[in-house]
Structure 1
């Protein structure tokens, strides 16, 4: 049972907008609640699977097993998808750079290295963080050993964007982590991702007091001894916080939320508070000063922090994922943008613009018979219209003239950029076995942007129907069927988890809690939908949010939440009707098509079981399909129709 349906700090805004959200005409706009992803328990194996190879034999075929993708399989183009995620690297080259690292930690700067402030670039295309490369961090060899030797390499995590290896050497008590990105994006994108993530980890550890693995070395390209871009960092021995997260556990006997749920949320909320403890004047992503191009560095509006870090091009995933329709134009849309540019609208407008141009490029390739996406032509053409709408509405989504107005409390604080980590999640937090300290592991795709545009972490985010108190809100709960009771419990627990998160935010940052108010969420929803888009058909979710805004725009204007009285976009009745039909088809597809929500990807153990049981069949072209359901017999047909 929860004490209230809203956080106290948002009540004023909610009262002024009472009934605002109920004005949406659900007859015209489809319900998208079932299209949102469901946060459930993610099971984690206790021990990683290890494959051993002879480190002295570069031609040993057995070592290929640790490079090949094995986390899951795809129903379509499985071989190609796995080949794109191969992370082959030189083990001998890895040994070389680790020894170079150890030598540098003892003797300091080398004559053939160029010292650049906080980082040092080497002739072999590797970069070391000078503050982190020291004997204290890297330990010391035994007296009778002359060099660092790799003992084992174990692949213990295959993520969406990179693979992680644990490296054990003869350095006593010191293991390393090697992170290698999949080669599924352009080299420039991978380069900026690595540079930004390393700088962000260094910044939050130095300025925000956040515990992260110490980064020793990185390379943003393949022209290094390892033969692949990489990050080499400290290994934290511990247990993932995700093992303690059970989002659907029952309340206690006193009807209060479980302490374990609150404990996990509090740990994540503490990280969230620290990430938002420093405010910036620019929207973009963090880099080391030495990693920024002179054009940006020499701009008088560029934000430089402590002569070490710089706000540079944005590396939020939505700006670089699947941009195969762009022809070297991506940098145009990546910023950075300062307050003089209207940083809130700039990031929304440029996300709409980059997606719009990407869709146009893909459509042009189809028209020129130079693309295999002919089946997606209609969807891509619809994307062009949707992202054009997002670009056009960007300047109108928030009334930025309310800084001295009480309609939105603390608006100025909400507009200040701060660090947003899209991977702030129990899955990316490890609790150290040594002293119980939580470490935040992953900062890929981190961005500095206004808090008003920051969504709640995905593990607690929930946009479906709300139940705060089952007994009060559903008096006839005991009379419901078991299935209906389970559904109500599910809704309550998802509501509870989100409430606990918002309560934790209010306790730590009460001046920011108004960003969780429904009208504010609705105003940022088109941007959020574009930012979190996973599939081509998800453009429909952006239009859905735009249409919801359209229906209550006049109320938003009356309450001074937007500055323009007229809704900035035009929709015909035919377009709205088509949208509702297309969204219904997408919903039906997700319900009836196995693994549609994961774009045909299946976890490997489940995939193997489906093949073994004969439910999943391999076709001649290498794709997989599910075994058709048997046709019902005449007797079963008669039974289903009630005939005797």
Structure 2
């Protein structure tokens, strides 16, 4: 029986972490398969076994056990392993959780694992095999270079088939669920990753294609350690019954366990070695990712996955006859879009025009807003209350289309190249991992404590000049580099103000240490961290990270800030146009100031506004038990201090308005 002795990680509470991946709540769940008395079943002596399955739902060190037969696919006992438990939504919780159910066939999974091991026994010399191989009639892809006996180990002499002993749910992420599999293969556990089916099958298919090829490229071409992928299915028409990836299990702690961004300095003023160890570890990986210079802008795929598609005529960059650059899979090109973007909007694009990615993302967002407005006008949308907000969004994305050609065009001018050191290098497309973070690096305890990179979702290839720093060190607030010299009255300040100064200093320090590490490893790229260059790319970064409807205000804020320094950029020959390409009236600026202040107030005063009403489960349970969160009459939840006043019962007109 599997026992869990982990410390639970909660990103809001900053707790510690143990073991593989991350543990999102205190509901660790697993299925234990007891196979001591299995037997062959089926008219053709199927190699799959009847077994007893133990389902464990653990909120303590003594998990509750439920029993089910492996072949009993209709047994409701096993359904708990598929249910989403990481958090609760204050609104539409049932619907949101239903979208994230990851039900799969355990019997079909057993079949796939046996196919993997059978393939490893007969796997030919893999040096000349280009890309994945599809198994006949099963819609399963295998990576031959990984699926070898040396990587998978072998069965005991008295066993002829692989069977699953344990299926443990160990991570429920933003986009996928992670299960740990133990089998009768000695010392070789596996990972099963399943995406949530919240997006269209087409989007999931393409994103998985790129994610798997990117992981393969990073491991083979860049020599960065990653878990080895053995097999995957890109849609639900496979024995598992859902898109999946089966890969190597890496034993060890997350690097996040060592990361404390608010760690005090040493008495001599130098950062502690613990802090430097994390930054150095990730910087080494980061600079390997940046080392390869591409000729196109888009995302990485296996060559054979793209060459026979509608995008084959746009492929101009093929690498080692194994990978190519295809359509981009960055989050905002596909997330929550009313219709799929056109082929032209997704690339790939030639590196000669570094602003095409900016223009096309803006056009994708603009078309999505137009679709939403059209549905409102046709009376087919419940978003009637958002019509003015969507019109403001429309103007913002039109502005982004109009400003994009002027952001970096002069960079190809020799005068600009001479003005800014290594500017041409900043324009070259390089890998960008949006989730490069201590949470996504495992220190492999069985491989000399080497760091293993584990998250490749939404990865793109784009000019370095428009790439922002990783989120765990990025800081755009006020700066304090030295408290004693910059705040001479520090010791006389109240404790609350001292704490604020310390927070600002430590965030400033972390960003400086990161940029210093980049300068030591890739000095030709450090110019991209100069404040004017950061400001120049800031509207695009805000657009690429926009996750809520009112996020357009952050884009507008960055456009207005860029406007204030545009003349300086022109005088220094960083931009080619003298006048800022956009016009903002006095009324528009005043309205923006008022609206963005309201947004900031909303984020400060409304709990969980930044997470769209999603609450981590352990926090939700505590707040619910303490009466801070209460259910309402519609099946949703409200924060007690934020409940709207109920209309007087005696007023029929008021009551009617309240219902509407």
- Tell me if the contact between 2:180 and 2:189 (Cα under 8 Å) persists in the aligned partners: yes
- Tell me if the contact between 2:314 and 2:348 (Cα under 8 Å) persists in the aligned partners: no
5+ long unaligned stretches in structure 2: 1-10, 32-54, 56-67, 645-660
- Tell me if the contact between 1:403 and 1:410 (Cα under 8 Å) persists in the aligned partners: no
- Tell me if the contact between 2:315 and 2:348 (Cα under 8 Å) persists in the aligned partners: no
- Tell me if the contact between 1:285 and 1:314 (Cα under 8 Å) persists in the aligned partners: yes
Q: TM-score, normalised by structure 1?
A: 0.88
State the 4+ residue runs in structure 1 displaced beyond 6 angstroms: none
SS of residue matched to 2:461: strand
5+ long unaligned stretches in structure 1: 1-38, 110-114, 632-644
Counterpart of 2:512 in structure 1 is 499
How far apart, CA to CA, are the structure 2 residues paired with 1:160 and 1:300? Answer: 31
Q: 1:626 to 1:474 in 2, by over 3 A?
A: same
How far apart, CA to CA, are the structure 2 residues paired with 1:320 and 1:577? Answer: 33
How far apart, CA to CA, are the structure 1 residues paired with 2:161 and 2:16? Answer: 35
Q: 1:556 to 1:146 in 2, by over 3 A?
A: same
Q: Deviations over 1:463-519 (max 9, x none)?
A: 000000000000000111110000000000000000000000000000000100000
Q: 1:619 to 1:298 in 2, by over 3 A?
A: closer
Counterpart of 1:591 in structure 2 is 604
Q: 1:41 to 1:250 in 2, by over 3 A?
A: farther
SS of residue matched to 2:641: coil
Q: TM-score, normalised by structure 2?
A: 0.86
Counterpart of 1:367 in structure 2 is 377
Counterpart of 1:70 in structure 2 is 85
How far apart, CA to CA, are the structure 2 residues paired with 1:403 and 1:426? Answer: 39
2:147 is the alignment partner of 1:147 = no
2:457 is the alignment partner of 1:429 = no
Deviation at 1:588? 0.9
Counterpart of 1:400 in structure 2 is 411
How far apart, CA to CA, are the structure 2 residues paired with 1:554 and 1:565? Answer: 7
- Tell me if the contact between 2:18 and 2:253 (Cα under 8 Å) persists in the aligned partners: no
* Residue of structure 1 aligned with 2:346, choices 334, 343, 348: 334
Deviation at 1:58? 1.7
Counterpart of 1:287 in structure 2 is 301
How far apart, CA to CA, are the structure 2 residues paired with 1:59 and 1:298? Answer: 43
2:279 is the alignment partner of 1:265 = yes
Higher relative contact order (CA 8 A, sep 6+): 1
- Tell me if the contact between 2:317 and 2:325 (Cα under 8 Å) persists in the aligned partners: yes
2:427 is the alignment partner of 1:415 = yes
2:58 is the alignment partner of 1:43 = no
* Residue of structure 2 aligned with 1:311, choices 296, 303, 325: 325
2:45 is the alignment partner of 1:61 = no
Deviation at 1:331? 3.5
SS of residue matched to 1:406: helix
Q: Deviations over 1:440-474 (max 9, x none)?
A: 00111110111101110000000000000000000
Q: Equivalences for 1:111-150 in 2 at 5 Å?
A: 117-122=130-135, 123-150=137-164
2:593 is the alignment partner of 1:580 = yes
- Tell me if the contact between 1:199 and 1:309 (Cα under 8 Å) persists in the aligned partners: yes
Q: Deviations over 1:78-121 (max 9, x none)?
A: 11111111111111111110001111111237xxxxx9832101
How far apart, CA to CA, are the structure 1 residues paired with 2:256 and 2:17? Answer: 11
The worse-fitting range, judged by mean Cα deviation, of 542-551 and 404-413 is 404-413
How far apart, CA to CA, are the structure 2 residues paired with 1:429 and 1:199? Answer: 19
Q: Deviations over 1:283-316 (max 9, x none)?
A: 0000001111535664376211111101000011
Deviation at 1:45? 4.7
Counterpart of 2:469 in structure 1 is 456
- Tell me if the contact between 2:333 and 2:341 (Cα under 8 Å) persists in the aligned partners: no
- Tell me if the contact between 1:402 and 1:408 (Cα under 8 Å) persists in the aligned partners: no
SS of residue matched to 1:609: helix
Q: 1:509 to 1:90 in 2, by over 3 A?
A: same
How far apart, CA to CA, are the structure 2 residues paired with 1:419 and 1:131? Answer: 23
How far apart, CA to CA, are the structure 1 residues paired with 2:429 and 2:581? Answer: 26
SS of residue matched to 1:73: strand
Q: Equivalences for 1:144-293 in 2 at 5 Å?
A: 144-293=158-307
Counterpart of 1:79 in structure 2 is 94
Counterpart of 1:98 in structure 2 is 113
- Tell me if the contact between 2:437 and 2:472 (Cα under 8 Å) persists in the aligned partners: yes
- Tell me if the contact between 2:315 and 2:326 (Cα under 8 Å) persists in the aligned partners: no
- Tell me if the contact between 2:429 and 2:463 (Cα under 8 Å) persists in the aligned partners: yes
How far apart, CA to CA, are the structure 2 residues paired with 1:370 and 1:622? Answer: 24
The worse-fitting range, judged by mean Cα deviation, of 56-65 and 149-158 is 56-65
Counterpart of 1:350 in structure 2 is 360
How far apart, CA to CA, are the structure 1 residues paired with 2:249 and 2:221? Answer: 22
How far apart, CA to CA, are the structure 1 residues paired with 2:502 and 2:413? Answer: 40
Counterpart of 2:548 in structure 1 is 535
Deviation at 1:41? 7.0
SS of residue matched to 1:168: strand
2:528 is the alignment partner of 1:515 = yes
- Tell me if the contact between 2:280 and 2:517 (Cα under 8 Å) persists in the aligned partners: yes
- Tell me if the contact between 1:319 and 1:334 (Cα under 8 Å) persists in the aligned partners: yes
- Tell me if the contact between 1:167 and 1:178 (Cα under 8 Å) persists in the aligned partners: yes
